[in-house]
Amino acid sequence: MTYLRWMYPIMSVYKQEAEFPMVEAGTTLGLGGLYVKPGVEPTQLPSPPAPKLLGPFESLIRFSGLDCHKLRKESIRSVKGIMSAVIAVIILIIMVVQVFTYMGIEDKPFTVGWAESTVYAFMALQALISAIAVICWTRENFVSQFEDTLSRLRTMRLSTSQSIDDYTNFHRKAAVMIVPIFAVILSTSFYSSVTNRYQLNDSSTFYSESIVHQFSPFIDFIGCLASSLAIVIYVTVNTALNREIKHFNKELTNSARFQQLTLPQVLNNYSKRHSDLIQLTRFVNQHLSKYGGIVPFFSLTAFVNVAYIVGSFKESLDPVMYVLLNGYMLISMGITIAGLSPLVKVQNNIQETAEILMHDDVLQTCGDDQMHHTYRVTLDRCLHSNSKLAFLNAFPVDSNCFNRIMFFVPNISAAMILYRLSHPNL
């Protein structure tokens, strides 16, 4: 009976000659590196070397002043550890002073000064949270831990792929995508300094007389650097996780197609691998919640206010500031999408795993009680595991949550514009 159970899936493949090509024992049966031989357990191909996820950005982090890997217990009392702590504290103090300076500006609600100060305050807040996130990630050695776990998962693959582990093109795209952050924010700072325009319509001259205004280009450069590095780390880790889950689904689909999931060893390997992927997703969410749960809210608030300015005060803006504020609108929405979209892709891929299992009729009707139990455990893990990162620790992010945010937020700006038009004396 055992022999017939092992041979049935292979014989069923031979019966499908009209749909699939004839294969012989000892071939991969569409499983990439998984070899199925009569009477022999499946074997795996050796895994290629682990990729360095951050690539050239790793050096940028090291020289940014936000690299605090020397602050761990074993090296915190060293000279480098003390220097890292001092530099990080100075950077955070500078950014905190900028945030409180913007928040200290007073103006009437719904005026251009009120909206503009809100934009800069919340963009400064997201830069501050980004800096804290990078400091925490480097201190906790988060990326290295993720790379080690990912390397172990890669040894469980059934096939190798060079494209899935090649991040060269991704690094190039990331470098291009962070350029607008520097271009828009620094251009605004330098334009303010050159024209002596204080941007905020501050009648009390609170901002124009503060030290923050004098050093705003330097402070904004630090903020741009922190925002860019946080986005790169955040998106890179989620991209690597998405690639691994997507590759898992591809191999699972091939195994289901050739009815290999009815082999006990194959199904057990998939179940163990899937459990590790879910645990890795929870590990990533635990560390990224410092960024993903807060920063999109700040960038969304900035977007709402800058869209309100562009829509309500276009006539009173000079052409340069009009262009720069439109740039602020684009980068604030870009930071929001970068903070939420990768989480949506992770959940979509996890949901795809559940759909592959639910649509496998052969596995569902398998008479082996132990295999049916493994099947149910794997399916329940997809459907009920707490693998979602919560936005503001209140709204688990998936495609529905993302779509609601993208629908309601622009309408908040529209409502503010309508209120401003109905109250022309503001």
The answer on pLDDT for 41 being more than 50 is no
How many domains does one find in the chain?
Answer: 1
Instruction: Sort 390 into a burial class: Cβ within 10 Å, 0-12 / 13-18 / 19+.
Output: middle
Contact call for residues 198 and 208 (beta carbons, < 8 A): yes
Domain of 176 in residue numbering reads as 2-422
Q: How far is CA 86 from CA 59, 74, 83, in A?
A: 20, 17, 5
Share of the chain above pLDDT 70, in %: 84
**CA 385 – CA 351 distance, rounded (Å):** 11
In this structure, which amino acid lies at residue 282? R
Residue 421: per-residue pLDDT:
86
Q: How far apart are CA 311 and CA 202, in angstroms?
A: 21
User: Residues 135-162: what's their mean pLDDT?
Assistant: 89
Higher-pLDDT residue of 261 and 244 is 244
pLDDT at 39 over 50: no
Q: How confident is the model at residue 334 (pLDDT cuts 50, 70, 90)?
A: very high
Residue 36: name the closest of 10, 15, 4 by CA: 10
How many residues does the structure list for the chain?
426
- Contact assessment for residue 38 and residue 7, using Cβ atoms and an 8 Å cutoff: yes
Burial grade of 149 (CB within 10 A; 0-12, 13-18, 19 or more): middle
- Single pTM value for the model: 0.85
Q: How many CB atoms lie within 10 A of CB 292?
A: 23
CB-count exposure of residue 181 (10 Å: 0-12, 13-18, 19+): buried
